[in-house]
Copies of this chain bind each other. A is one copy, B any other.
Amino acid sequence: MKRARNFSAGPAILPESVLEIVQKEMLSYRDSGMSVMEMSHRSSLFENIIEEAEQLLRELMGIPEGYKVLFLQGGASLQFAMAPMNLVKTGKVGYINTGSWAKKAISEAKILGVPHIDVLASSEGDGFTHIPEIPAVDEAYDYIHITTNNTIEGTAFQTIPRFVNAPIVADMSSNILSNLYDVNDFGLIYAGAQKNIGPAGLTIVIVKEDLIQTEKTLPSMLDYRTHIKNDSLYNTPPSFAIYVAKLVFEWLKDLGGVTEMVRQNEEKAGLLYRTIEESSIFTSPIAVDSRSITNIPFVTGDKDLDAKFVKEATNAGFLNLKGHRSVGGMRASIYNAFPYEGVKELTEFMKAFEAKEGKFK
């Protein structure tokens, strides 16, 4: 059984050793005679799993006391609405517009009728090819929302801004656990699991408890307080996805944690960016100081040649390299579980393609 070189932006590649454990435990988790999929979420077996998952994530990210960790459903897309529903107090919020997902977050705040929405910085005019300069903001905001890594465009915040009177809400879907951030810099972090953590259908929320608005009455499932009070077991959680996440956290801890992961990710990304720089046919559309280490777009500048590259790469076993339909070209998503050798093989394939096609430039 040959494993693919899977560059999917999400759901994305998982560590092979994790899949092997899942496979082994599929019909009987630790001699229980049950798959984790079949276990009551009220059983001590499952409670141990979810508690270990939380402890491991706390350790890996250095999550301080006062922050709650929630295992929810609905994806980051539901958090676009839940964050304002739970955090808006005065009605004044700020957003930094760095890409398609940031725009969706803004649009959901508008749908909810949040009275005052300021877009404090945007790189939309430049096609989102860089992270815009973030102004100093003294005014009070209920929160200011950022997207730490822009999955589609391939940019990432290299440092997290600080605002005197506003906590930061961060969509960290595509670089949670693959960049090193200090949780203290955030009021709320959310991320769909399907890139760096596990199967789709699990959403991680890390929230500073004292920020949660307590005056409003919200539908129970949309109220962070419900899930805090019930340790993410108010209703049936996505238990199998939580189990896989726990295994991924163990894998990551064994490897050396986020610091080691960042080292590996920078090595992988460095190799790919270098190949792009040295190439005469491939270029990166992204400003050097804004580049993501997890999602790396590149283009030839010629749509037909892009398509040809994607097709030949696919035939050679490099899957899901086609750029998002909104930007075109190519994009290699190389999250934590993507191995260095896979990137190396891709760069060799790129060089061979260039040698073959370069003459047409």
Contact = CB atoms under 8 A, between A and B. Distances in A.
Nearest to A22: B26
B38 A222 contact: no
B32 A236 contact: no
A235 B77 contact: yes
A27 B6 CA distance: 12
A99 interface: no
A356 interface: no
Given A201-B241, A236-B192, A239-B200, A219 B37 contact: no
Interface in A213-259: 217-222, 234-241, 244
A88 to B, nearest CB: 13
A8 B39 contact: yes
A35 B8 contact: no
A36 to B, nearest CB: 8
Interface string A69-97: 00001111110110000000000000000
A33 interface: yes
Contacts of A219: 78, 80-81, 108, 111-112
A contacts with B: majority SS? loop
Interface in A174-224: 192, 194, 198-202, 217-222
Contacts of A2: 28, 33
Contact of A33 (B4, B20, B76, B218): B4
Interface size class, chain A: 35 or more
Given A73-B73, A201-B202, A238-B238, A11 B38 contact: yes
A81 B39 CA distance: 26
B34 A4 contact: yes
B201 A244 contact: no
Contacts of A317: 33
B75 A74 contact: no
A326 interface: no
B10 A34 contact: no
A19 interface: yes
A23 B37 CA distance: 12
B35 A14 contact: yes
A218 B26 CA distance: 39
Interface in A41-82: 41, 43, 73-78, 80-81
Contact of A111 (B28, B78, B220): B220
25 contacts: A4-B34, A11-B40, A12-B38, A14-B38, A16-B27, A19-B27, A19-B35, A23-B23, A23-B27, A40-B320, A41-B200, A73-B201, A74-B78, A75-B236, A77-B234, A107-B220, A112-B219, A199-B238, A200-B239, A200-B240, A201-B201, A201-B202, A201-B238, A201-B239, A240-B241
